[in-house]
Amino acid sequence: MWGFALLPLDKDFDVPLRNTLRLWDHCGSKQKPSEIGFIMGIEFEKQDSNIISIFLELCSFDDLIGFKSSVEEECHDIDEASLWLFCGLGQLTSLQTLNLFVLSEGPVGSSKHCGGLAELNKLNDLRGKLVIKNLARLKDATPEFKAANLKEKQRLSELILKWNSEGDDENSMDSLRPHESLKSLKVEGYMGVRVSSWLSFLTNLVDLYIYDCKKCQYLPSLYQLPSLRELYIRDMDGLEYMTDGDMNDEISASLASPSTFFPSLRTLWLMDCHNLKGWWRSVDKGNEATTTSTISSSSSSSTNHYHQHMPYFPRLASFYFRDCPKMTCMPLFPNLEQLQWGNSSLKALEETIEMNNTGGRASSFPSSSSSSSFSPPLSKLKQLYLTLDLESLPEEWFKNLTSLERLQIFSCPNLTSLPERMSHLTSLQTLSISYCPQLKQRCEKENGEDWDKISHIPNLHIL
């Protein structure tokens, strides 16, 4: 029986010899502890409930399957491709720490198959972090994924599922449902068109990362997750809508029960989703269903109607929005403290800036501040990073930026001037302008046409 790699053999490392010998005898090894070339560790619970470490040897990496050190900085000489997890791990029912579980290549029952997910079935005392790699290697995945029995591992706090962008089994994720106590989930390389609906029921989830899922077209509804603080979505080529739901359904739910629309979300990443069109697939327009991506092309009166009632994130502080050029409809974000905006549709930014210009919009969501205490949109913003294909920055964008301390303008080759309101940004401490050739010339000290707009800023970095 084998555990997980912890650290290389250190002659000064104090290991109780009796524990080492006991495990060697149990494994049937005839080698002496002095011949150990690499230490592997298992956290094992004795009958007296005291946690001790049992150590064992790996002598030949050629016969091992897909296994990696949990302390990478101390194991640089270990090639992941040459390491394998042995069968029998499932017998260690008191095992508490298993940082990495890598699936082998062979089909179940073959000589090459070892360390299948069934080994995890009874390891319900696992806690902390668990990474499961090479999930795409299982062609008939559902039975073995069920055998992993993740839903019974209530002490796991972080789960990372990696498919490596292979296969197309969308049902497999349904069978990997973890326990509701999970706090962090990362999904990488999943090739189904949908992410399983059980995401909506992880009520203790704090961090959710979904990336490199090329075929995924939409996600389940996430707005009601009470503990979700960070949402990371990246490299999703097939993603067209963040949710398959209706915008009005989420509005109605939030009106019926305050503090239910992303009540805890603080950080949002939307990056490299080139086909992402909108947050919701449809908006109930009387008896007519309309995709949110068509709202921006509707008449101005129709557009104003929907944007007056657009949901917004009540506590979102940081938003990283990059390379999503088609995204035209999403919840607004008036309370940001940090914003990075690069090569993406400007529609949501413009609508957020205009929030308090239309009656009722500020108080449309009771989960946020009431209209009496409503702050102007983006008035809390302290850091702003822009990469845009514009010739000028609209004056309107800067009217409420009274708290802005840092502004970075990067790679805007067509930008020819700064807005007049720049001179009114009295809190601005740092301005960085990079790879903006026309703007660089206009901001030349003393002589540039825009110098008077920025001369009050203490820290200027113009490259």
How much is the pLDDT for 297? 47
Query: What digits encode the pLDDT tens for the residues 179-200?
Result: 999 999 999 999 888 889 999 9
Burial of 105 (0-12, 13-18, 19+ CB in 10 A): exposed
| Site of tokens 């700064």 | 418
Which residues, 6 or more positions from 246, have their beta carbon under 8 angstroms from its beta carbon? 280, 281, 282, 283, 284, 289
Query: What digits encode the pLDDT tens for the residues 128-173?
Result: 999 999 888 777 778 888 999 999 999 999 999 998 765 555 557 8
Q: How confident is the model at residue 244 (pLDDT cuts 50, 70, 90)?
A: confident
Rounded Cα gap, residues 259 and 267, in angstroms: 17
Token couple for 249: 């359904």
Pick the closest to residue 53 from 68, 67, 70 (CA basis). Answer: 70
Higher pLDDT: 318 or 45? It is 318
Rounded Cα gap, residues 136 and 190, in angstroms: 8
Query: What digits encode the pLDDT tens for the residues 106-137?
Result: 555 544 555 688 889 999 999 999 999 988 87
How much is the pLDDT for 291? 53
Token couple for 394: 């609209």
How much is the pLDDT for 461? 95
Rounded Cα gap, residues 7 and 9, in angstroms: 7
How much is the pLDDT for 152? 96
Q: In this structure, are residues 151 and 178 in contact, taking their beta carbons and an 8 Å threshold?
A: yes
Is the model's pLDDT at 176 over the cut of 50? Answer: yes
Helical H segments across 213-327, by residue range: 247-256, 300-308
Q: In this structure, are residues 72 and 65 in contact, taking their beta carbons and an 8 Å threshold?
A: no
Q: How far is CA 422 from CA 56, 271, 316, 406, 407, in A?
A: 65, 28, 25, 12, 10
Higher pLDDT: 329 or 40? It is 329
Q: In this structure, are residues 449 and 417 in contact, taking their beta carbons and an 8 Å threshold?
A: yes
Higher pLDDT: 121 or 298? It is 121
Higher pLDDT: 27 or 294? It is 294
Q: How confident is the model at residue 73 (pLDDT cuts 50, 70, 90)?
A: very low
Q: How confident is the model at residue 268 (pLDDT cuts 50, 70, 90)?
A: very high
CA angle centred on 349, ends 343 and 352, rounded to 5° = 170
How much is the pLDDT for 254? 62
Q: In this structure, are residues 37 and 59 in contact, taking their beta carbons and an 8 Å threshold?
A: yes
Rounded Cα gap, residues 405 and 381, in angstroms: 8
Rounded Cα gap, residues 151 and 41, in angstroms: 26
How much is the pLDDT for 15? 39
Report the amino acid identity of residue 23. L
Query: What digits encode the pLDDT tens for the residues 5-55?
Result: 333 333 343 434 333 323 333 344 444 333 333 334 343 333 322 222 223
**Residue-averaged pLDDT of the chain:** 75
Q: How confident is the model at residue 231 (pLDDT cuts 50, 70, 90)?
A: very high
Torsion angle defined by CA atoms of residues 226, 232, 235 and 239, in that order, rounded to the nearest 10 degrees: 20
Is the model's pLDDT at 373 over the cut of 90? Answer: no
Rounded Cα gap, residues 423 and 446, in angstroms: 15
Query: What's the mean pLDDT in 420-449?
Result: 94
Q: How confident is the model at residue 402 (pLDDT cuts 50, 70, 90)?
A: very high
